[in-house]
Structures are given as C-alpha cells and as structure tokens.
Structure 1
Amino acid sequence: MVMDAVVAFFILGAVSQLLGAKLAFPESLYKSLSLFLMIAIGLKGGLALQKHIDPQLVLMGGAVIVFGLLLPLIAFPLLRYFGGLDRINAGAVAAHYGSVSVATYAVAVALLEANNIQYEAYFPLFVVLLEMPAIVVGLVLAKGSLKIINAKFIKHELVANQSILLMLGSLLIGYLGGNSVEKLSPLFIELFSGVLALFLLKMGMVAGEQLSTLKKHSLFLVSFAMLMPMLGGLAGTALGWMLNLSAGGIALMAVLGASASYIAVPAAMKESLPEANAGMSITTSLGITFPFNVLLGVPFFIALGQYITA
C-alpha cells in the first residue's frame, strides 16, 4: 500500500512528538502557512465560480447552510446527555463539529487530485458557507438564548473572523479578477501541495502534544471525536448524493461534514464564550478528529463516494 506523501508529513510530525524529538517549527511560519492555505482555497474557488455560477449553485449553497445548522444540533445532545458535559462546554464543542477544518478539506482535495478523481471546482464556496452557521448555533445552545446574536457579534465574530474574511475575500478576488488571477498561480496553485505538507507536519506535532492532555471525560471524548466525524460524514454523503454531485464532490461534502474546526471557531469561542474549556475543544477537534480524518476518514469517504456513483 502506497501512502500519500502529503499525509505522511502529518504522521512524521505526530511521531516526532511521541518520541520526544524537539523539532524547531517557528510559530510565525505556522501562521503564514495557515494564511496561505485559506487564500489559495479561496482563489481556486473564485476561479471556478467564473465558469460555474448559476441559480442552481445558489440553491445548493442554501442546502449547505442548512446542513451547517444541523450538525451542531446532532453533536450537542451527544455531548450534553451522553457525555455529561455542562451546557457551556457542550455548546462550544458542538460548534467546533458543526464548522469545518480547512486543512482536512485541503488533504481531501490533494488526495482526489493525486488519484485523478474529478470533483466540483466550486467547493471552496461551501467551505466558506459552513464556517459561520455552527458558530451561531453553538453559542445559542451554550447560552440557551438567542440574545447573544446581535450586531456586534455578527460584525466581530462572523464578518471579521480571520478565516471567513480571508477565504471569502480571496474567493471574490478570484471571481472578479478575471484572467489577472492567473498571475498568482505559480504561488497559490502550483505550490499548494508543498505548503500543505509543511502545514501537516506542524499539525502532526500539535496533535501529538494534544493527545497527552486527555484527562477528565477522556474515554467519552475519544469516542465522540471518532463517532461524530462518521455521523457528519455520512450525513454529508447523503447530501452530496441528493445534490447529484460527482464521486469527488460527494467525498468532499462528506469530509466537510466530518471535519471539525480548530481555527475559526476557537477564535469565536474565546471572544464570545470565554468561560468554556478551550483545551477540551482543541484536544477533541485537533488531537483526535483531525488525525482520525486524515488517516482514516478521508480515504473512507473518497472510496464511499466512488462506490455510490459507480
């Protein structure tokens, strides 16, 4: 069995931490790589929209938003009533699992392209759309009230959220920039896999560190962090099938449903829900769900997408 070289860098990072190796990886480089991936994904989506935008895509976008609203509603009762978490932490963790992981999506795209599996090129639009609904639902669940949703919240936590702003802005630049966007291809398109490999090396290191922090609720959290991606992924598979997507498109919709945010949502929770245990959310989403998806979830959903459309 041949392992994808990009994914192998994630394993290298995790193993280095488990062995106690001290790899020097500047925090500034990690942040730069994050910015690169968000801009690159947005630009690719904008280029695709130049050719594919139509009323049907608007309807599909609406379906994706509804999907994003439902995911935290699935996660919350599992966390609250089976895991015994309080309302605040159950809502915070549920928000992470209703949103998406840009890195997981990037891994799925890299694997699809490496295996010459076609997918709808406008998917970055769906990535952007899925960042926002879960933040709103998670906070409402945590507070038990709709009063938290006000103009200040919408401005600072949704519109001005770094990942949402960069991906949406880059998507618009890619769409409105016409042929001039091709000048950016040598950096943001051709170097995408190499940058992703470096990013996954760092993610592997972080995941290795997070695994050692599991304490209270550890058995349930580990179980939830592997069960929820499967539930969300299967729901995404069903949605992709109903939208009549290609094999790669069904796989990507499944991956969006299976992934958990560790960039956009943690920032929003830190600002709007400071009393929540941020370590619990990051450990589950990044320490367990992210490696689970990279190593098992993404390949499984790609194979499932091909099986359904065969």
Structure 2
Amino acid sequence: MDVAISTLLSPIILFFLLGMVAALLRSQMSVPEAFAKGLAIYLMMAIGLKGGVEMAKNPITLEIGLVFLAGIILSFMLPLIAFALLRVTTKLDRVDAAAVSAHYGSISIVTFVAATEAVKLSGLDSSGHLVAVAALMETPAIISALILFMRGRKKSDVAVAGSERGELVREVALNASVVVLVGALLIGWITGEAGMAKVSPFFVDPFQGVLCLFLLDMGLSAGRGLRNGWRSLGPGTVGFGLYMPLISALITAGFCTVLPINHGDAALLITLAASASYIAVPAAMRLALPQAKPSIYLTLSLGVTFPFNVILGIPIYIYLAGLVTG
C-alpha cells in the first residue's frame, strides 16, 4: 500500500493524470510533436547510458545470461497466449488479434522508465542489465505475431507480404527506439562512470523534470485515444487490456522463482513483460499487417493498458516481485 500511494502521488504519475484528464475534457493543451519526439530520444539516451554504465561495473555472467534468455522467451511466448485469449474472448478477426498480440509481447520503454523510478522510491536496488533485456524484448513478439497471422492467411497474401519482407526487417532492426536505446547502452558500457560524469549535468539532474514533461504528453495521447477510439473496442477487448498485463506478470513471476534475480530486477522484468508497446510495434504493424486497425491496437495499448500499468500495475508488480524473490 505504501508503494502504491508513493507511486500514485509522485510527480510523474500526477502529470500523466493531468494530461489524460485534460484530453478527456477536450482541453486545448498540447505538446508539439517534434518536442515530444525529442523528449523520447532524451529519455532513451539517459536510460541507455545509465544501464551501460551499470553493466560496465560488472561482467556479464551466466546468471545475467539466464535473465536475458528469459526475456527473449517471454517476448516470443506471450503473444501466443494473448492471441489465444483474444480469439476466445473477443470478436477480433485474425489479423487484428495478431496485431494486438504483438503489442502485448513487446515492451513499453516509458512504462519501464516509470517502474525504474518507482523501484528507486521503494528503496530497492536494480542493475543496468535490465535495460539490455528491454532492448532484447522489443522485437521477438513481432515475429511471433507474424507467424500467428501467416498460419491463417490466404495464398494471395503471400506475394505482397514477401515483397515487403526486407523493409519490415529493416524497420524492426533499425527502429529509432531500438537504435537509440542499444546505441546509448553501448556508449555507456564503453565509457563507464568517467564518461557518465562528463554528461551527468544533462542526463542525470534534469531527468525527472523531462520525464514529467513526457508523461504529460503521454497522458494527452492516452486521453485522446480513449476519447476517439473507444467505439472500436468492445467490452471483451477493453477487458483484455486490463487482465492481460496481470497474466503476463504472473507468468513472469513464475520465471523469477527460478532465476538468479533480486527484488528490484524482478520488479522491472515483470513490468517489462506486463507492458504493451505503442512505439516499435505499431511502426512494424503498419508495414507487416497494414490491414490491421490502429484504432484497435493503438487505443488498447496506449489508452487502456498504459494508464493501468502506470497508475496501478507497477505497485502490484513490485509487490509480486517481493513475494517470489523472498
């Protein structure tokens, strides 16, 4: 309860709520798109650098490798579960169910950033290796979703999909979030603490304020998505956006019982698995499954699951991690 209250009353969550309420009330408040993209790049650079510096302090061991492997397996596996649930509990067709399932196997870096701050507020330690896990979990879910779709597609679709395969691979591998996150991670790893000290006035001290600005913009986006896209979502689909993160969290908690992982890292791994992508995967879906409806998959991930995770989910995941790590 203390973790939940401290998270809900933190500035980053309150600014997110301010943006969402403003959008739902049709306020004219807005953040320029170019500025918002700049904030996103800044946050990914800061998180990547911090993670790389932490990784430089300790060599990659077998225990860390097992956590990496668990992240990849989860990203491949969770879309399969999500797809099966969507087909049973909603009226979504195969292409929309596949597109949605991809979002729920990949990760939300902003949710991860918010969880990192919540873990700090809880007085828990976490390692920089989870940043690398976040990068590894970006893309396997996309592959799983495409496999799910291809199992039921018509033969006439094969030529179109094949002609775009190279562009899809390029979009997934060179997605801006992946490039910035992995690149900053490597830079932090190479330069270490000495390099971080040189840029800390820009990447460490202003971090909280920039995060508040970014979450204000995300709150505006989530509110607009709910206001404009709710008609595309039935009760079963909205319910999926609320219970799927909890299912993913429970499955990941099971993994954590056998992984050599501490409380803080387990909380972040559970959060990664329970989050839903709204940056990398939508870009890939526009190429791979253009017939899928963004009004469904983007509204669900950004308008339903993201607010749930940021407001209520993260405290639950921190508590759950404590149960499974002792």
Cα separation, partners in 2 of 1:115 and 1:59, compared to 1, 3 Å:
closer
CA contact (8 A) 1:226 1:292 kept: yes
> SS of the counterpart of 1:164?
helix
Letter in 1 for 2:51: G
Q: Mark the runs of 5 or more structure 1 residues left unpaired by the alignment.
A: none
Q: Aligned residue for 1:17? A: 23
Structure 1: how far apart are the matches of 2:148 and 2:20? 33
Partner of 1:38: 44
Residue in structure 1 matched with residue 114 of structure 2 by the alignment: 107
SS at structure 2 position matched to 1:294: helix
1:60-75 equivalence runs, <5 A = 60-75=67-82
Distance 1:260 1:31 in 2: 19
Which segment is superposed worse, 113-122 or 32-41?
Answer: 113-122
- Note the C-alpha offset of 1:155: 4.1
Please give the alpha-carbon distance, in whole angstroms, between the structure 2 residues aligned to 1:234 and 1:244.
Answer: 17
Higher RCO (C-alpha 8 Å, min separation 6) = 2
> Is the CA contact 1:72–1:137 (under 8 Å) kept in the aligned structure 2?
yes
Superposition pairs of residues 166-177 of structure 1, within 5 angstroms: 166-177=180-191
Letter in 1 for 2:197: E
Q: Which of the numbers 28, 32, 39 marks the counterpart of 2:34?
A: 28
Number of corresponding residues: 310
Aligned equivalents of 1:10 and 1:23: distance in 2? Answer: 13
1:127 is matched with 134
Deviation at 1:151, TM superposition (A): 7.0
Q: Is the 8 A contact 1:239 1:253 kept in 2?
A: no
TM-score (norm 1): 0.94
1:84 maps to which residue?
91
Asked if 1 retains the 8 angstrom alpha-carbon contact of 2:51 and 2:127, the reply is no
Q: Which of residues 146, 150, 162 in structure 1 aligns to 2:176? A: 162
Q: Is the 8 A contact 1:262 1:285 kept in 2?
A: yes
Contact 2:55–2:127 (Cα < 8 Å) also in 1: no
Q: Which runs of 5+ in 2 are unaligned?
A: none
What is the 5 A alignment of 1:190-229? 190-212=205-227, 213-229=229-245
Does the CA-based 8 Å contact 1:112-1:118 persist in structure 2?
Answer: yes
Give the Cα–Cα distance (whole angstroms) in 2 for the partners of residues 98 and 44 of structure 1.
Answer: 25
Q: Is 2:160 the counterpart of 1:152?
A: no
- Provide the TM-score with structure 2 as the length reference: 0.90
Q: Please tell me whether residue 302 in structure 1 is matched to residue 321 in structure 2.
A: no
For 1:85 and 1:19, the matched residues in 2 are separated by: 29
| Structure 1 letter corresponding to 2:30 | A
* Structure 1 letter corresponding to 2:321: G
Q: Who is 1:180 aligned against?
A: 195
- 1:208-234 deviation per Cα after TM superposition (whole angstroms, max 9, x unaligned): 111122114421111000011001111
